[in-house]
Each structure stands twice: as C-alpha cells, then as structure tokens.
Amino acid sequence: NAGVTQTPKFRILKIGQSMTLQCTQDMNHNYMYWYRQDPGMGLKLIYYSVGAGITDKGEVPNGYNVSRSTTEDFPLRLELAAPSQTSVYFCASSPGQGAGTEAFFGQGTRLTVV
Amino acid sequence: AQSVTQLDSQVPVFEEAPVELRCNYSSSVSVYLFWYVQYPNQGLQLLLKYLSGSTLVKGINGFEAEFNKSQTSFHLRKPSVHISDTAEYFCAVSNAGGTSYGKLTFGQGTILTVHP
C-alpha cells in the first residue's frame, strides 16, 4: 500500500519561478493537509481540505494555493517563489472520522529557493 | 488558539539508558495529544496518542506517555533506548471539538541522539 506519495522529493527554484508540489493518497481519506517544516520551528499548517472541492487556509497560507478536484489528489502551488519558502513540505491525510484519528504523512519535498 | 512547547531541543543519551522528552501545551478547549517520530529524511510516523480515558498511553517501539491535565503536560518516556531510536520527536495537539478537522499544532521538535 503506497499511502501518501509526494513528488518531487527535491527541487531548486529561482526567485520568482512557480511550481506545483504533487500529493496523492490511495487510502480514500477525506481530509488532507499541507505542512511546512523549518528547523527548530516544528511543522506549520499551510492549507487543508475536508473533501473534494473544499479547501481552507491554515496558519501560514500566504504565497501558496491549493485545489482538491479529486479525493486522491491535493496539489500545492507556489507562485512567485521567494527565499522564505525554502523549507521541507509535507502532505498528510486522515480518514476524517474524528479529530483524534491519525494523520499519515508523505516522505516530504525539500524545496530550496535561490 | 493552541500552542505546544517542547522543553528540550536536543537530548543526548547512552544506549540502554532511560529517556524522557518533555511536552507542555496550552489550550482553552479540550485537546487530543500526539507524539510523532521522524527518522532522517523520512516523513512523520505516529508513536502514540491520547484521546480520553487512562492517562498513561502506550505506543509503538516501547514508548509511553502520561497525560497530566493539571500540569498541561504530555511527556514521552522510554525505560531503555536503542541506537535505532535516534530521531526527531514531535509533540502535537488537536482541538477535540468536531470542527477541528484533525488539524495539528506541533511543538518545535526534540532531537534524540542515542550514543553507544
């Protein structure tokens, strides 16, 4: 079972470029999330989705956009990349049966903006 | 709003020694509590969680944690660590209410390094 799959694993962007981080899950989970991880800061929620067609902002949404056209996919779009977006990005999913259900994480995408 | 504070950024220990990783949280509502582990260059994996009931929670790999509501703490413990426990550990909380949608608030992380 693949779980949560993120692509690419690594990427270097130039300032002002744009890109899409891909995330797909094969567990038929309703809830999906994007977090960013910065050293010594833990993980911060960027955006989340509770089902196809429904997305909402998290704690640090500026500079990012998301869409959820299917249950499986939850891509994260970076427009006009900035050095402050250098980070490790994690996608996660959860069955959504209750707030205490476990979130399953992908392997992460390490992004560097130069 | 919620916040999580992990009191130690790094914890070095020798193999077979006991370890405690400390976590305190702040919230105006009831919360669920989690510990996740991140091995190098990997995603996060759930160690254990507290939802309700017994305040002592047992997880995978011999880890356990105790929920202390009066001290708003959820410290992680293991009586004897192995080299393979070397990793970064994250404490996290989510709002126990129905509209939280499983969103997690994380602590800053504690790097556990086990020396031979």
Q: pLDDT (tens digit, 9 = 90+) per residue, B38-75?
A: 998 889 999 999 998 889 999 999 999 999 999 999 99
CA distances from B60 to A95, B36, B64, B72 (A): 21, 11, 8, 23
Give the residue from chain A lying closest to B110, CA to CA.
A40
Q: According to the model, what pLDDT value does residue A99 have?
A: 61
Distance in angstroms (rounded) separating the CA atoms of residues B45 and B14 = 23
Give the residue carrying structure tokens 């020694």. Answer: B17
* Strand-pair partners of A66: A76
Distance in angstroms (rounded) separating the CA atoms of residues B66 and B75 = 6
Q: According to the model, what pLDDT value does residue A97 have?
A: 67
Conformational region of residue B43, where left means phi above 0, alpha means psi within -120 to 50, and beta covers everything else: beta
Q: According to the model, what pLDDT value does residue B52 have?
A: 87
B94 pLDDT exceeds 70?
Answer: yes
Residues of chain A whose pLDDT is less than 70?
1, 97-99
Tokens of B102: 């499983």
B99 pLDDT exceeds 80?
Answer: no
Q: According to the model, what pLDDT value does residue A72 have?
A: 97
Q: pLDDT averaged over chain B? A: 94
Which helix H or strand E contains A40, and what residues bound it?
Answer: none
Q: Do B42 and A107 touch (CB under 8 A)?
A: yes
Q: Would you say B43 and A107 are in contact if contact means Cβ atoms under 8 Å apart?
A: yes
- Nearest CB to B46 within list A41, A42, A102: A102
Distance in angstroms (rounded) separating the CA atoms of residues A43 and B93 = 12
B34 pLDDT exceeds 90?
Answer: yes
Chain A hits for B41, CB-CB cut-off 8 Å, are 107-108
- Let me know the angle formed at the C-alpha of A81 by A77 and A86, rounded to the nearest 5 degrees: 95
Percent of chain B with pLDDT over 70: 99
CB contact set of B9 (below 8 Å; sequence gap of 6+): A40, B108, B109, B110, B111
Q: Would you say A37 and A88 are in contact if contact means Cβ atoms under 8 Å apart?
A: yes
In the chain, the amino acid numbered B34 is: F
CA distances from A106 to A8, A18, A80, B76, B95 (A): 11, 22, 25, 24, 23
In the chain, the amino acid numbered B81 is: V
Relative to beta strand A64-66, strand A54-57 is: unpaired
Q: According to the model, what pLDDT value does residue A66 have?
A: 98
Q: Would you say B84 and B78 are in contact if contact means Cβ atoms under 8 Å apart?
A: no
Chain B hits for A99, CB-CB cut-off 8 Å, are 32, 94-98, 100-102
